[in-house]
Structure 1
């Protein structure tokens, strides 16, 4: 009788609230980011080698693992919403990218460019793990399977050829200056100041700004010698020369063109994954000045060309507009000076 009374009294007592770990909402995202960071360290191979960070097995599956780990650990605390499966991996992949910058294994250019794709793939991984947690009893084996996919594919993928994709962008701008002035500006672009070109998106995310671009005659033909900041230098071999009408060149890069740290090393221009092919300027005289058109073409060779090409269309399109404005300002300024001197 005494035991029944004691049990009844205990049953009537309110349950103590379950204690939760400090920052329990945050640590699954941090854990997901740390797992992805470890995988990034594994994927440190050079271009064309196993476990390169430019492989599709890294770009697609590592952020998915990041999202999957985040949701798995969060589900161990309590059931999460479908919305959580989508947004929590965004935070985790952002932490992951920040971590790669903090330990100096990723450059700012690639980090900024890849964040949107990583966020999407993180959500895919998070949603997949959320479904597994809701409808199966084996989320842990599924998580291990997620983590093994990039490791398995990272060793196989380099044996497969990368698809090549060729694209171009074009822009035109009217310049209130005669074609002769514009032509001179194209071939004698010296002492370029950051304020003249610094509005371009590419330069804002870390691409070195141009310093000069000067056409010279060499025993092998006309060459445009180009200098950028951070001691970047390369040549533009002129393939079409119609004074005051058409100027076209192809690019020639050497191993010395880009010193270490000038660009993100695994996406070097002229390398395995990306190359600038040629640029054409077309001058068309009309009343009051000259229409200047620029055409830029490039090659992409990655497993995510569909994404990288859209990024380049935006960056190179904006860069083309910016450089046309530079030539406009230079040409119109020299024209104004010449007119004032009369």
Structure 2
């Protein structure tokens, strides 16, 4: 049996380090991220579908292209290299401050999956096509070609979250907690994944009455502050809030630009609370309306429902604990 020609693929174990394939994928991803930064005539945003789908695909393809040049790899290796290269790429955007922790958390699952497919695609091109380099170059042009015709500002859609909880306290006490949520401790809201991934935790929500209605002043960590204006309310029964953000409500760096509250891609609209007397306490129902505007709402919308649904449940539990703690009768003194 003749020895394989120099430079041809073999089935021998990989003799080269994995450093270069992964580094090549990282460089390709960071370069594409720097090009698609929204500064080219308002186009080529990183929130466009042409980046979210094609960037991880290309990172996986480039990594496998470098890995496959001298040693034939397995199909499992193609997928693994594509996924690992994207993991490093996403981490690299965080370390270089191109993206914040929230965006990294939200993007990582879809980037890893698409990156695996990109690795498999490049492996198939190597095995069945004669010109892998030229094919890869063609794929590299796709984000620029498709980005030029893609709408960078989709209309978006309004979503609603509905949650309810039973509180062992009368409506008057529950209403009091809704109006005077002060000195909120981090451990009281830690269960919500929105806060675990980097959204600043709430610090206080204090209501004052004005000639035009109720106004709730909300303060969160990192200097975030905004108002909720009542659109309808009945004491101890119902209150509906409309969110109001000033230009300085979200200081620079407090949130990732792509998930900034009241920004182009995400906006809180209304929150309503309904108190219904029940046997043994009060049922507190909450509805939250918000807008999500991305080219990939098929991913962002259900992810938003999961995150905001969990946050709503955490806030309802917060009100329940505080209302029940104040309503709980003091234990009778023990006899000595």
The Cα offsets for residues 220-245 of structure 1, whole Å up to 9 and x where unpaired, read as 43211100011100111111202211
More divergent stretch after superposition (148-157 vs 238-247): 148-157
Q: Is the 8 A contact 1:47 1:54 kept in 2?
A: no
Distance 2:281 2:125 in 1: 65
Aligned pairs for 1:251-262 (under 5 A) are 251-262=243-254
**Which residue number in structure 2 is paired with residue 28 of structure 1?**
21
**Aligned match for 2:207, one of 195, 215, 221:** 215
Q: Is the 8 A contact 2:158 2:289 kept in 1?
A: yes
Report how far residue 146 of structure 1 moved.
1.3
Report how far residue 46 of structure 1 moved.
6.4
Distance 1:212 1:339 in 2: 29
Report how far residue 119 of structure 1 moved.
1.0
**Aligned match for 1:75, one of 68, 71, 79:** 68
Aligned pairs for 1:3-152 (under 5 A) are 24-45=17-38, 49-152=42-145
Report how far residue 161 of structure 1 moved.
5.0
Q: Is the 8 A contact 1:46 1:266 kept in 2?
A: no
**Which residue number in structure 1 is paired with residue 194 of structure 2?**
202
**Aligned match for 1:154, one of 142, 147, 152:** 147
Is the counterpart of residue 306 in structure 1 residue 298 in structure 2? yes
Where does the alignment leave 5 or more consecutive residues of structure 2 unmatched? 3-9
Report how far residue 138 of structure 1 moved.
1.1
Distance 2:85 2:313 in 1: 35
Report how far residue 340 of structure 1 moved.
7.7
Report how far residue 25 of structure 1 moved.
2.8
From the CA coordinates, give the structure whose radius of gyration is larger. Answer: 1
CA root-mean-square deviation: 2.4
More divergent stretch after superposition (163-172 vs 253-262): 163-172
Is the counterpart of residue 275 in structure 1 residue 267 in structure 2? yes
Bigger helix share:
1
Where does the alignment leave 5 or more consecutive residues of structure 1 unmatched? 1-10, 12-17
Secondary structure, counterpart of 1:118 in structure 2: helix
Secondary structure, counterpart of 1:262 in structure 2: coil
Distance 1:64 1:224 in 2: 46
Q: Is the 8 A contact 1:164 1:300 kept in 2?
A: yes
Distance 2:211 2:200 in 1: 30
Q: Is the 8 A contact 2:14 2:71 kept in 1?
A: no
Distance 1:240 1:294 in 2: 14
Secondary structure, counterpart of 2:218 in structure 1: strand
Q: Is the 8 A contact 2:153 2:294 kept in 1?
A: no
Alignment TM-score, normalising by the size of structure 1: 0.89
**Which residue number in structure 1 is paired with residue 7 of structure 2?**
none
Aligned residue-pair number = 325
Distance 2:33 2:108 in 1: 14
**Aligned match for 1:229, one of 212, 215, 221:** 221
Distance 1:144 1:336 in 2: 69
Is the counterpart of residue 291 in structure 1 residue 283 in structure 2? yes
Structure 1 pair 84–340 and aligned structure 2 pair: CA distance change class (3 A): same
Distance 1:315 1:166 in 2: 15
Distance 1:303 1:192 in 2: 36
Distance 2:85 2:59 in 1: 7
**Which residue number in structure 2 is paired with residue 170 of structure 1?**
162
Distance 1:259 1:24 in 2: 44
Distance 1:240 1:324 in 2: 20
